[in-house]
């Protein structure tokens, strides 16, 4: 967003540059909302300042017409905000992803994010909390007896291809965490006992921080990870490499 970029040049902190398909709409809405609210706050304060420094006026009563007109125009502003934002919310959240979306599972546990790819069979294997053992290389408790689980890839970096829709399946092993990628304008809590889905399309290759936005214990601030968006070809070779490595591992 040009205005945001200009602001960043002036050194005023602003939203980080956006890497998602739906990001520009969010940024534009955010910008115009902030402009409208700043103008409203400014006018109110100018009004207040004017009234403070004004001597007693002969006109006692403020015209009621203008009062109700002001209120009505504010109501219009709120209606505009509600409508535009609802359209965006509906577009992002009401409907699931397209069938071609890539499946990735995000698992939060106290102070670590894990990302699981379904592997060559495109099906996530069964997990059981009883089997969770990070020291033994199974932080998500994947059941090795399940054939779907054998080829699952678990990573601590979320690697995604640019330009393809991603369906994230969010869950948590222990407490509520907040899955927040500022660069993708995306946030959803991971709630234990619930399987939540969000979908988005990363478009700009690069590295983006992933943060925990819901206080989850003493390591809350450390609970960060990286999102690596790769060009499609690079991603394919990365995925192929991981799949082969996984096959070698389970083949042993």
For residues 154 and 115, the answer to whether their CB atoms sit within 8 Å is yes
Among positions 29, 101, 123, 162, the unique one binding another protein when judged by CB under 8 A: 29
Taking the complex as a whole, how short is the minimal distance between the CB of residue 165 and another protein, in angstroms? 17
The answer to whether residue 249 forms part of the interface with another protein (CB under 8 A) is: no
Taking the complex as a whole, how short is the minimal distance between the CB of residue 72 and another protein, in angstroms? 10
Pick the piece of the chain touching another protein (CB under 8 A) from 97-105, 206-214, 233-241, 243-251. Answer: 206-214
Closer CB to another protein, 38 or 240, in the complex: 38
The answer to whether residue 248 forms part of the interface with another protein (CB under 8 A) is: no
Q: How many other β-carbons are positioned within 10 Å of the β-carbon of residue 5?
A: 10
Is the dihedral angle over the CA atoms 39, 44, 48, 50 positive or is it negative? positive
For residues 179 and 187, the answer to whether their CB atoms sit within 8 Å is yes
Total residues in contact with another protein, by rule CB under 8 A: 98
Going residue by residue from 49 to 68, which x/- string records binding to another protein, judged by CB under 8 A?
A: -xxxxxxxx-xxxx-x-xx-
The answer to whether residue 209 forms part of the interface with another protein (CB under 8 A) is: yes
The answer to whether residue 21 forms part of the interface with another protein (CB under 8 A) is: no
Taking the complex as a whole, how short is the minimal distance between the CB of residue 8 and another protein, in angstroms? 8
The answer to whether residue 76 forms part of the interface with another protein (CB under 8 A) is: no
The answer to whether residue 191 forms part of the interface with another protein (CB under 8 A) is: yes
Is the dihedral angle over the CA atoms 10, 23, 200, 100 positive or is it negative? negative
Can you tell me the distance from the alpha carbon of 51 to that of 54, in angstroms, rounded to the nearest whole number? 5
| Residues facing 197 on adjacent strands | 169
Q: Which residues ranging from 162 to 181 are in contact with another protein (CB under 8 A)?
A: 173-176, 178, 180
The answer to whether residue 130 forms part of the interface with another protein (CB under 8 A) is: yes
DSSP-derived 3-state class of residue 6: helix
Can you tell me the distance from the alpha carbon of 252 to that of 249, in angstroms, rounded to the nearest whole number? 6
Task: Give the closest residue to 100 by CA, choosing from 160, 164, 153.
Answer: 164
The answer to whether residue 137 forms part of the interface with another protein (CB under 8 A) is: no
Can you tell me the distance from the alpha carbon of 103 to that of 247, in angstroms, rounded to the nearest whole number? 19
For residues 206 and 240, the answer to whether their CB atoms sit within 8 Å is no
Among positions 34, 35, 122, 232, the unique one binding another protein when judged by CB under 8 A: 34
Closer CB to another protein, 96 or 241, in the complex: 96
């Amino acid at each position: 967003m040009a205005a945001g970029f200009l602001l960043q040049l002036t050194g005023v902190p602003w939203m980080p540059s956006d890497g998602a398909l739906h990001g520009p709409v969010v940024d534009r809405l955010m910008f115009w909302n902030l402009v409208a609210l700043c103008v409203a706050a400014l006018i109110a304060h100018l009004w207040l300042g004017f009234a403070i420094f004004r001597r007693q006026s002969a006109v006692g009563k403020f015209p009621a017409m203008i009062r109700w007109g002001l209120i009505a125009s504010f109501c219009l502003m709120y209606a505009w905000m509600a409508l535009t934002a609802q359209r965006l919310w509906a577009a992002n959240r009401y409907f699931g992803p397209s069938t071609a979306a890539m499946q990735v599972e995000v698992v939060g546990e106290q102070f670590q994010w894990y990302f699981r790819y379904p592997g060559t069979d495109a099906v996530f294997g069964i997990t059981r909390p009883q089997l969770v053992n990070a020291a033994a290389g199974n932080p998500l408790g994947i059941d090795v007896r399940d054939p779907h689980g054998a080829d699952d890839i678990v990573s601590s970096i979320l690697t995604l291809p640019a330009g393809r829709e991603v369906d994230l399946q969010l869950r948590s092993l222990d407490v509520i965490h907040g899955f927040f990628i500022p660069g993708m304008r995306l946030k959803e809590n991971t709630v234990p006992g619930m399987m939540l889905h969000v979908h988005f399309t990363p478009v700009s290759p690069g590295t983006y921080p992933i943060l925990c936005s819901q206080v989850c214990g003493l390591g809350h601030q450390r609970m960060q990870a990286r999102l690596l968006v790769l060009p499609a070809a690079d991603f394919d070779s990365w995925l192929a490499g991981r799949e082969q490595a996984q096959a070698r591992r389970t083949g042993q």
